[in-house]
A and B are shown apart, each in its own frame.
Chain A
Amino acid sequence: MSRLVVVGHGPTSHRLIEALVAKGFAGGITVLGEEPRPAYDRVALTSYLAGTSIEDLTYPTPEGVVLRLSSRVVRIDRKAREVTTADGHREPYDVLVLATGSSPFVPPVPGRELDGCFVYRTIDDLDAIRQAASGATSGVVIGGGLLGLEAADALRGLGLATHVVEMGGWLMPRQVDEGGGAVLRGHVEALGLSVHTEAGAKEIVAGPDGRVAGLVKPDGETVEAQIVVFSAGVRPRDELARQAGLDVGGRGGIVVDDGMRTGDPAIYAVGECALHEGMVYGLAGPCFTMAEVAADRIMGGEAVFTRADLSTKLKLLGVEVAQFGAMEGALDVTFMDPVGGVYQKLFVSDDARTLLGGICVGDATPYNTLKPFVGRDLPASPGELLFTGGPANMEVPDDAQVCSCNNVTKGQVCEAIAEHGLTDVPGIKACTRAGTTCGSCVPTLKQILVSSGVEVSKALCEHFAYSRAELFDIVRVRGITTFSSLIAGHGTGRGCDVCKPVVASILASLGNGHILDGEQAALQDTNDHFLANIQRNGTYSVVPRIPGGEITPESLIAIGEVARDFGLYTKITGGQRIDLFGARVEQLPLIWRRLVDTGFESGHAYGKALRTVKSCVGSTWCRYGVQDAVGMAIALELRYRGLRSPHKLKSAVSGCARECAEARGKDFGVIATEKGWNLYVGGNGGFTPRHADLFASDLSTEELVRVIDRFLMFYIRTADRLQRTSAWLEAQGLAYVKEVVLDDSLGICADLEAQMERHVAGYADEWRATIDDPEKLRRFVSFVNAPGTPDPSIAFETERDQVKPILIPLEVVRS
């Protein structure tokens, strides 16, 4: 049986042993680590200072691997095939892997040994910096690259006045050019950091106590600091290999071939200590690839490491910075927004058709959309791509990532469609995992299905062969009032989490009483079922309606008292309301009893329904306002409250063209004019933002309400499941919807208006009806056999003087 010994226990080493264990390596694995603790996520190191525990950062050691910590290897005996540690332990090997990483480079500056000088690489380094920071007021980081800014972020987080000293002309010179560096500097300085470029460290000077007191720049200026962090690059740890007579590069690094093997066939080197084709890699991605290649070779495979892509995308100090492909080209096109702090540059070939690379600061969207096009023809002109984001139907190359949560490319999706004959999104999800995490790529998956020539079934799910719009007509025309009669007559099986909420919504839109009445209750999603929004720890949040965002001091106090008495976390929402978090199921009726008694009603934040009509303060107070925006917003919110629809509905009213209520980002937005109101429809924020289209101008109040009535009801009748007005409008076409709603081309407007009148007349507060009905209240218990016992898995801690959930770490669920 072969004995594998790994020297070094960092992320790359961990990845290697994980890969070997996964591949079923039959021999013994011994890892000798220099640090006193097992491998941890060094990329997330800075989060340690922000409170992430060592346990959270530590990688789990695979079973069966022998780990020897605080064991620094000092010698390799290639002849005897054994390594010796500083404490004299000898470990024989058949295969040896060097994963010794790198060490921070400390330039030979006078004073660098003083107390108060640090490097930034290990948890021990961070502990030492944290300890020193408690007696310090300011700190300086030498090096303005990626790691330097990380370190600066850490010092800033420790409450120090922070300086960054960079030799080059701008920050992050390896990732961005001078223009990008200037924009990045703006962001960094806006956070209160001081940036010194074209500046090194001439000397580090001590104070009377012998500790660091400041850094002298080459121009003679002294930057006062009690802490100095060196972050001026790293050097490969190749001393063991050197001593053992293995080849090392002129500037350091253990020379390896494409299989990560050194000159000695029994010795491999991976990670930051390895030199492949003259390159040392410091990024996690290429290092992990090396680990995978070495593991494959050790198992007898023929994997090959090729020159790695150095594209990077990261968020430093809250600023997105990204670089992909080449950093120069025959031509370049730059988009620069100094106000928004955005800098985007594309490098293209001399005919401006082939993309060579790009740089982004402040907004890395082009990295996501354009990186797959490097070395290929651009889908549009560079200017169009930077200024408008490019055409909506950009044909994405096969290797473009469509699901970033699960790293699935378009090619993998297409392959799965062809191989398994997939015809729907659930099929893609099951085969590729794409779309299973955040779900924001599901529209893209649908597009890929369509463009693959697959006839996309409009069937809602396996239980109904109809689309939502068709089901709506069946229910409306036939006067169906229960799910059971609908599925018995027009479907199969007993429904699922897709069709049941759809049918519940249709029944509610058509006015079938309280959503928890009778059989309807079983159709509702958990949010509708408990009339509250489920949160990650299984508790719920509560949002009382605050029409138009207008609220009296008494009502504010009432909300505050409820939140205080039930220990809820409170937050102002984007829709000018107040969200109360952390309510357990059995507390919801008690909370709502109090809210209802003080005049509040359900805000329907839990429903696919009208949420809120936001407003600016309007002509009543604002010196620019031309109409009473608040009054209009309240009237609209009260008219459409409780209206169930294919997806949530948001609205806003602005009192003048300055548009402070952001009405054009809403499903229906109203903007006051001198003569009346302009109506905009189909706006959206979210994953695919869209500005609303002007639908009708200078309407009187009465006309406005009539047009909105028709528009909403037409949307409710014809939209797909979970299709917001923006996507619906794109699918139907603005001109067509105008014909139907404004010119009554289908002759249905009287019907639409009558349906809305029935909704308005039939509205009743869902929560008031619930707390008055013992039958409905039965569901609000923690345990059916112990209704008074709170769920013991729910616990809170305190953050910024409010509760926050304590999340129980998930055990590995996959077998």
Chain B
Amino acid sequence: MTALREDLETIRWTPVCSYTDLLPERGACALVGDRQIALFRAFDGSLFAIGNLDPFSGAHVLSRGIVGTRSAEPVVASPMHKQVFSLVTGVCLDDPAVAVPTYPIRVTGTTVEVGSR
């Protein structure tokens, strides 16, 4: 618990958009500093944030992939060559040696905020 609290204290939160800017089961991209972060709103309303860079193609496109589930895990498929990434862990489920970064995300009031350490 202590460790968790420390984590929370060191996270810097950046407001990026309002909750309704995000469409259900679709992504959007936010520019935080010089980082491109892909934001997703799942069907049940929960939010996820991962790196927008598709490590297989080198293009910043993951926010434009199709959102769904694989064995109940929320995922996005790269729009380039369809590799599937977990929205929870960032790990590529088709090639577990590859992963994209994940970021903390929360809603304060109606504003979506993305965290960075």
Residues of A within 8 A of B (CB): 429-430, 436-437, 462-463, 493-497, 499-501, 519, 521-527, 529-530, 534, 536-538, 778-779, 781-786, 789, 791-793, 807-810, 813-815
Q: How far is the CA of A612 from the CA of B99 in the complex (A)?
A: 40
Contact of A791 among B36, B98, B99 (CB under 8 A): B36
CB distance from B101 to the nearest CB of A (A): 12
A791's nearest neighbour on chain B, judged by CB, is B60
Please judge, given known A-B contacts A495-B68, A495-B69, A496-B66, whether A792 and B25 are in contact too, CB under 8 Å: no
Q: List 6 A-B contacts (CB under 8 A).
A: A496-B69, A526-B65, A527-B79, A784-B30, A785-B17, A814-B97
Task: Give 5 new A-B contacts, CB below 8 A, not counting A783-B31, A813-B98.
Answer: A462-B71, A522-B26, A783-B36, A784-B29, A785-B17
Interface string of B38-73 (1 = CB under 8 A from A): 010011000000000101111111001111111110
Does B60 lie within 8 Å of A496, measured CB to CB? no
B82's nearest neighbour on chain A, judged by CB, is A497
Does B75 lie within 8 Å of A496, measured CB to CB? yes
B28's nearest neighbour on chain A, judged by CB, is A784
Contact of B26 among A462, A521, A782 (CB under 8 A): A521
B41's nearest neighbour on chain A, judged by CB, is A522
Residues in B neighbouring A782, C-beta threshold 8 A: 29, 31
Residues in B neighbouring A495, C-beta threshold 8 A: 68-69
Does B69 lie within 8 Å of A493, measured CB to CB? yes
Residues in A neighbouring B32, C-beta threshold 8 A: 785
Interface size class of B (residues with CB under 8 A): 35 or more
**B34 beta carbon closer than 8 Å to chain A:** yes
Residues in A neighbouring B61, C-beta threshold 8 A: 526, 534, 538
B99's nearest neighbour on chain A, judged by CB, is A815
Please judge, given known A-B contacts A493-B69, A496-B69, whether A537 and B59 are in contact too, CB under 8 Å: yes
Residues in B neighbouring A519, C-beta threshold 8 A: 24
Does B59 lie within 8 Å of A494, measured CB to CB? no
Residues in A neighbouring B59, C-beta threshold 8 A: 536-538, 793
Does B16 lie within 8 Å of A497, measured CB to CB? no
Does B31 lie within 8 Å of A496, measured CB to CB? no
Please judge, given known A-B contacts A522-B25, A534-B79, A784-B17, whether A792 and B68 are in contact too, CB under 8 Å: no
Find residues 79-111 in chain B having any chain A CB closer than 8 Å to their own CB. Answer: 79-82, 84, 94-95, 97-99
Classify the secondary structure of A's interface with B.
Answer: loop
A810's nearest neighbour on chain B, judged by CB, is B58
Residues in A neighbouring B80, C-beta threshold 8 A: 534, 536
Residues in B neighbouring A462, C-beta threshold 8 A: 70-71
Does A785 lie within 8 Å of B84, measured CB to CB? no
Contact of B64 among A430, A496, A534, A809 (CB under 8 A): A534
Chain A CB count within 10 A is highest, among B15, B28, B57, B68, for B68
CB distance from B67 to the nearest CB of A (A): 7
CB distance from B11 to the nearest CB of A (A): 18
Please judge, given known A-B contacts A436-B94, A496-B69, A496-B75, whether A793 and B29 are in contact too, CB under 8 Å: no
Residues in B neighbouring A786, C-beta threshold 8 A: 30-31
CB distance from A459 to the nearest CB of B (A): 14
Q: How far is the CA of A526 from the CA of B69 in the complex (A)?
A: 17
CB distance from A524 to the nearest CB of B (A): 8
Residues in A neighbouring B39, C-beta threshold 8 A: 784
Contact of A500 among B34, B68, B70, B81 (CB under 8 A): B68
Residues in B neighbouring A523, C-beta threshold 8 A: 66
Contact of A792 among B16, B34, B71, B82 (CB under 8 A): B34
Please judge, given known A-B contacts A534-B80, A791-B36, A813-B55, whether A494 and B68 are in contact too, CB under 8 Å: yes
B23's nearest neighbour on chain A, judged by CB, is A522
A538's nearest neighbour on chain B, judged by CB, is B59
Q: How far is the CA of A433 from the CA of B60 in the complex (A)?
A: 24
Does A529 lie within 8 Å of B64, measured CB to CB? yes
Residues in A neighbouring B75, C-beta threshold 8 A: 496
Q: How far is the CA of A526 from the CA of B67 in the complex (A)?
A: 11
CB distance from A690 to the nearest CB of B (A): 26
Does A793 lie within 8 Å of B55, measured CB to CB? no
Does A783 lie within 8 Å of B68, measured CB to CB? no
Q: How far is the CA of A815 from the CA of B15 in the complex (A)?
A: 32
Please judge, given known A-B contacts A436-B94, A522-B26, A530-B64, whether A785 and B16 are in contact too, CB under 8 Å: yes
Residues in B neighbouring A497, C-beta threshold 8 A: 65-66, 68, 77, 82, 84
A430's nearest neighbour on chain B, judged by CB, is B94
Does B98 lie within 8 Å of A521, measured CB to CB? no
Residues in A neighbouring B23, C-beta threshold 8 A: 521-522, 779
Does A429 lie within 8 Å of B68, measured CB to CB? no
Please judge, given known A-B contacts A496-B70, A496-B84, whether A525 and B79 are in contact too, CB under 8 Å: yes
Residues in A neighbouring B79, C-beta threshold 8 A: 525-527, 534
| Shortest 6 CB-CB contacts between residues of A and residues of B | A526-B79, A497-B77, A538-B59, A496-B68, A813-B55, A497-B66
B42's nearest neighbour on chain A, judged by CB, is A494
Chain B CB count within 10 A is highest, among A494, A782, A815, for A494
Q: How far is the CA of A86 from the CA of B70 in the complex (A)?
A: 62
B78's nearest neighbour on chain A, judged by CB, is A497
CB distance from A722 to the nearest CB of B (A): 12
Residues in A neighbouring B82, C-beta threshold 8 A: 497
CB distance from B19 to the nearest CB of A (A): 11
Residues in A neighbouring B70, C-beta threshold 8 A: 462, 496
CB distance from A772 to the nearest CB of B (A): 19
Residues in B neighbouring A437, C-beta threshold 8 A: 81
Residues in A neighbouring B74, C-beta threshold 8 A: 494
CB distance from B73 to the nearest CB of A (A): 10
B76's nearest neighbour on chain A, judged by CB, is A497
Residues in B neighbouring A496, C-beta threshold 8 A: 66, 68-70, 75, 77, 84
Q: How far is the CA of A687 from the CA of B85 in the complex (A)?
A: 29
Residues in B neighbouring A538, C-beta threshold 8 A: 59-61
Residues in B neighbouring A526, C-beta threshold 8 A: 61, 64-66, 79
Contact of B66 among A525, A813, A815 (CB under 8 A): A525
Q: How far is the CA of A527 from the CA of B64 in the complex (A)?
A: 9
Residues in B neighbouring A815, C-beta threshold 8 A: 97-99
B58's nearest neighbour on chain A, judged by CB, is A810
Residues in A neighbouring B77, C-beta threshold 8 A: 496-497
Contact of A501 among B24, B53, B58, B66 (CB under 8 A): B66
CB distance from A61 to the nearest CB of B (A): 22
A537's nearest neighbour on chain B, judged by CB, is B59
Residues in B neighbouring A807, C-beta threshold 8 A: 58
Residues in A neighbouring B30, C-beta threshold 8 A: 783-786
CB distance from A620 to the nearest CB of B (A): 43
Residues in B neighbouring A463, C-beta threshold 8 A: 68-69
Q: How far is the CA of A463 from the CA of B17 in the complex (A)?
A: 32
Does B68 lie within 8 Å of A493, measured CB to CB? yes
A786's nearest neighbour on chain B, judged by CB, is B31
B53's nearest neighbour on chain A, judged by CB, is A793
Q: How far is the CA of A265 from the CA of B34 in the complex (A)?
A: 56
Q: How far is the CA of A791 from the CA of B79 in the complex (A)?
A: 17
B64's nearest neighbour on chain A, judged by CB, is A526
Residues in A neighbouring B42, C-beta threshold 8 A: 494
Does A494 lie within 8 Å of B29, measured CB to CB? no
Q: How far is the CA of A499 from the CA of B68 in the complex (A)?
A: 10
B39's nearest neighbour on chain A, judged by CB, is A784
Q: How far is the CA of A254 from the CA of B98 in the complex (A)?
A: 43
Residues in B neighbouring A779, C-beta threshold 8 A: 23, 26
Q: How far is the CA of A189 from the CA of B67 in the complex (A)?
A: 54
Q: How far is the CA of A808 from the CA of B69 in the complex (A)?
A: 31
Q: How far is the CA of A497 from the CA of B62 in the complex (A)?
A: 13
CB distance from B83 to the nearest CB of A (A): 8
CB distance from A616 to the nearest CB of B (A): 36
Residues in B neighbouring A810, C-beta threshold 8 A: 55, 58
Q: How far is the CA of A242 from the CA of B84 in the complex (A)?
A: 56
Q: How far is the CA of A496 from the CA of B68 in the complex (A)?
A: 5
A527's nearest neighbour on chain B, judged by CB, is B79
Residues in A neighbouring B25, C-beta threshold 8 A: 494, 522
A497's nearest neighbour on chain B, judged by CB, is B77
